[in-house]
């Protein structure tokens, strides 16, 4: 596998190796990829938690009779157009 890096990224990898925390550039890259995977998992969990919060709010509004009735696709489109504006 061949990977091209900017001079800045190459310098950062060399600095990590020179710090003694890593034995070589491959270890730095593997650690960065593991971090990226963990970060992506965390972002997914945050988004999922936020969606659950919004669903709870919405179901509460429906339970209180605060919902609206959408009778057509045009009405649904108009609702989303209002949200975007």
Task: Give 14-54 pLDDT, tens digit per residue.
Answer: 999 999 999 999 999 999 999 999 999 999 999 999 999 99
pTM over 0.85: no
Q: How many helices (H) and strands (E) does the chain have?
A: 3, 0
- The residues spanned by each domain of the chain are 27-84
Q: In the Cβ-directed half-sphere of 36, how many Cα atoms lie within 13 Å? A: 6
Report how far residue 49's alpha carbon sits from residue 17's, in angstroms, rounded to the nearest whole number: 37
């Amino acid at each position: 596998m061949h990977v091209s890096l900017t001079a800045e990224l190459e310098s950062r990898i060399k600095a990590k190796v020179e710090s003694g925390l890593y034995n070589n550039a491959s270890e730095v890259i593997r650690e960065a990829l593991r971090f990226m995977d963990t970060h992506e998992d965390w972002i997914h969990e945050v988004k999922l938690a936020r969606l659950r919060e919004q669903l709870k709010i919405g179901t509460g509004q429906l339970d209180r009779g605060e919902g609206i009735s959408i009778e057509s696709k045009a009405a649904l489109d108009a609702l989303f157009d209002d949200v975007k504006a």
